[in-house]
Amino acid sequence: MSVSMNKLPVRTTINGEPRIFLAAPGQVLADALRDELQLTGTKIGCNTGDCGACSILLNERLVCSCLVLAVEAEGQSLQTVEGIAEDGVLHPIQQKLLEHGGLQCGVCTPGVVVAAKALLDANPDPTEEEARYWLAGNLCRCTGYDKIIRAVLDAAATMREGDTP
Amino acid sequence: MAVQDFVAPRSLGEAQIAFAEGGGASWLAGGTDLLVGIRLGSRDPSRIVDLKRIPELMAIEVESDQVRLGAAVSAYDLLRHPTVAMLYPGLAEALALIGSTQIQGRCSAGGNLCNASPAADSIPALIANRASCRICGPKGERLIPVEDFVVGPNQTALGGDELLVELVLPLPTGRCSDAYLRLTPRTEMDIAVAGAGVSLTLDDDGKCLASRVAIGAVAPRALLVEEAGQALVGSRLEEAAVQDAVLAVRAAAQPITDKRGSAGYRTHVVGVLVARAIRRARARIAGEEIV
């Protein structure tokens, strides 16, 4: 009956570092990140893939970690919000969210950061419409989205400037 | 969750064995329906058999006369494949409407089909493109048209121990294209009130040589409306022919009334969508800008 009886070892790379953890067969990745790995930056909102708060990158694809089994991560590469800032320096998306006031309560913010990074990795120069559609799976009940979108587009512009010597 | 066991087989043979041994096993592709079902209590598998490490289910093969889409390939990967979206722009439109970017990163065309929602977006687009399902089971393989795969809401033609391996689409030849349109109350993250998939093949003078019209969310399952396609064949897609197709789909629709729309509204709207999808597919063939 005990779930811990049949926990399975899961070998992953998380934010560039090899990590091994134990997961029950039915445990979702969002729970494993938070409870087994103490990576509590990933938030859980709806647990049904509707809100995007648990967004992570799985092999560079944007996914809801509440809709991935932890055991599916075996041998895979994950990036969570903890891996977005480098050497203590905020990523431009994080910096611009602060500057534009693109967050209030902050529960959606880690998911927004990860989703926006995936957007800018795939499309460094998105239109506002493209950004809004890409981020449609990240629900925010505080900001009304406008400041988030402004921050993401500003971050994109900043990153493009940084690319041109 | 009462999931006791998880296995990720590397071949179809291993998968069949793992499923048979499981006693109450579920196949797992993207998990965007299964894991929600487990969470909400509508699904209760004791074993989960992950399909994403089986090469056939994760492959996209463009061959000389057909395209094979592995049943577990994510919508995101299908959409970013260099030729799939070019060959079947309407199927790409349908896949791009499923859920959010996050959902598209996991959900698969095979899963959308096996979940068998009456409102599934990819199914009318697959039917319009004459897609078939390659099914593998203990007794061997079989190939059935997509329009015969779903038999009712959340019910498929799969036997209990059978597996959808891939979708096989004939390679488009000549002047042809497709389109898929749906209506939702919101622009994103919503489920179709009605959907319409259309494929067209025209000759050099613009005469319609072949057409398939399929409709979604207006019946217990997506429907191929052969009369609508026939109404277009031989025409130059004049308004009269398009209206005949519209009347045919409205006659075929058997929608329910729910919070997304009344039966009468759905019947009307599916006709409007079919007419627009015909014009959209024609504009694609003509190389006109799609708005």
Residues B202 and B235 in one domain: yes
Residues B251 and B271 in one domain: yes
Residues B111 and B46 in one domain: no
Residues B23 and B70 in one domain: no
- Res. A137: pLDDT tops 80: yes
Q: Single out the residue in B112, B136, B170 at which a domain terminates.
A: B170
Nearest CA to CA, how far is B90 from chain A (Å)?
A: 19
pLDDT computed for residue B2 by the predictor: 83
Residues B32 and B121 in one domain: no
Exposed / middle / buried, residue A131 (Cβ in 10 Å: 0-12, 13-18, 19+):
buried
Nearest CA to CA, how far is A119 from chain B (Å)?
A: 9
Third-level CATH fold of A3-83: Ubiquitin-like (UB roll) (3.10.20)
- Per the CB < 8 A criterion, the answer to whether B167 and B69 are in contact is yes
Residues B22 and B118 in one domain: no
* DSSP symbol at B208: E
Q: Please tell me whether residue B109 adopts helix, strand or coil conformation.
A: helix
Taking domain A92-163, whether its CATH number is 1.10.150.120 is answered by yes
What is the Cβ-side half-sphere exposure of residue B194, based on CA atoms within 13 angstroms? 29
pLDDT computed for residue A165 by the predictor: 54
Exposed / middle / buried, residue A122 (Cβ in 10 Å: 0-12, 13-18, 19+):
middle
Residues B60 and B116 in one domain: yes
- Compute the average pLDDT of residues B109-116: 97
Residues B74 and B41 in one domain: no
**In whole angstroms, what separates CA B154 from the centre of its chain?**
14
Chain B positions with Cβ closer than 8 Å to A: 1-6, 8, 28, 30-32, 35-36, 38-40, 48, 50, 52, 74, 76-77, 99-103, 105-106, 188-189
> Dihedral of the CA atoms B88, B94, B100, B104 (nearest 10)?
-50
Q: Give which of A71, A57, A30 is closest to B50, Cα–Cα.
A: A71
- Compute the average pLDDT of residues A118-136: 97
B291 in a domain, yes or no? no
Put simply, the answer to whether A48 touches B39 (Cβ < 8 Å) is yes
- Res. B113: pLDDT tops 60: yes
For A80, left (φ over 0), alpha (ψ -120 to 50), or beta? beta
Encoding tokens for residue A117? 């990074």
B212 in a domain, yes or no? yes
Distance CA A52, CA A10 (A): 24
Nearest C-alpha in B relative to A4: B4
Distance CA A144, CA B198 (A): 37
pLDDT more than 70, % of chain B: 100
The residue extents of the domains of chain A are 3-83, 92-163
- Res. B117: pLDDT tops 60: yes
Encoding tokens for residue A19? 């990590």
The whole-chain average pLDDT of chain A stands at: 95
B121 in a domain, yes or no? yes
Alpha-carbon Rg for chain A in angstroms: 16
For B23-70, what is each residue's pLDDT tens digit?
Answer: 899 999 999 999 999 999 999 999 999 999 999 999 999 999 999 999
Task: Identify which of B48, B100, B189 has the shortest CB distance to residue A69.
Answer: B48
- Res. B214: pLDDT tops 50: yes
Q: What are the chain B neighbours of A136 within 8 Å (beta carbons)?
A: 100-101, 188-189
Q: What are the chain B neighbours of A68 within 8 Å (beta carbons)?
A: 31, 35, 106
Tally of domains in chain B: 3
- Res. B217: pLDDT tops 60: yes
- Res. B97: pLDDT tops 70: yes
pLDDT computed for residue B186 by the predictor: 82
pLDDT computed for residue A2 by the predictor: 43
Residues B155 and B242 in one domain: no
- Res. B291: pLDDT tops 90: no
For B163-179, what is each residue's pLDDT tens digit?
Answer: 999 999 999 999 999 99
pLDDT computed for residue A164 by the predictor: 58
Q: Single out the residue in B133, B150, B170 at which a domain terminates.
A: B170
Encoding tokens for residue B156? 């498929």
Say yes or no: A97 contacts chain B, CB-CB below 8 A: no
Residue A102 banded pLDDT, cuts 50, 70, 90 = very high
- Per the CB < 8 A criterion, the answer to whether B270 and B215 are in contact is yes
Q: What are the chain A neighbours of B3 within 8 Å (beta carbons)?
A: 24-26
Q: What CATH code is carried by the domain that includes residue B179?
A: 3.30.390.50
- Res. B22: pLDDT tops 90: no
Put simply, the answer to whether B6 touches A49 (Cβ < 8 Å) is no
Q: Give the angle B198-B84-B163 at the CA atoms, nearest 5°.
A: 85
C-beta neighbour count of B17 within 10 angstroms? 15
Residues B198 and B281 in one domain: yes
pLDDT computed for residue B23 by the predictor: 83
Put simply, the answer to whether A49 touches B102 (Cβ < 8 Å) is yes
pLDDT computed for residue B174 by the predictor: 93
- Res. A4: pLDDT tops 50: no
Encoding tokens for residue A157? 């512009």
- Per the CB < 8 A criterion, the answer to whether B208 and B240 are in contact is no
To probe the interface with B, which of A6, A72, A149 has the most B CB atoms within 10 Å? A72
Residues B106 and B184 in one domain: no
B75 in a domain, yes or no? yes
Q: Which amino acid is at B61?
A: E
- What Cα–Cα distance (Å) separates residue B267 from each residue in B248, B249, B262? 11, 8, 9
Residue B264 domain boundaries: 175-286
- Res. B255: pLDDT tops 50: yes
Residue B103 banded pLDDT, cuts 50, 70, 90 = very high
Residues B91 and B138 in one domain: yes
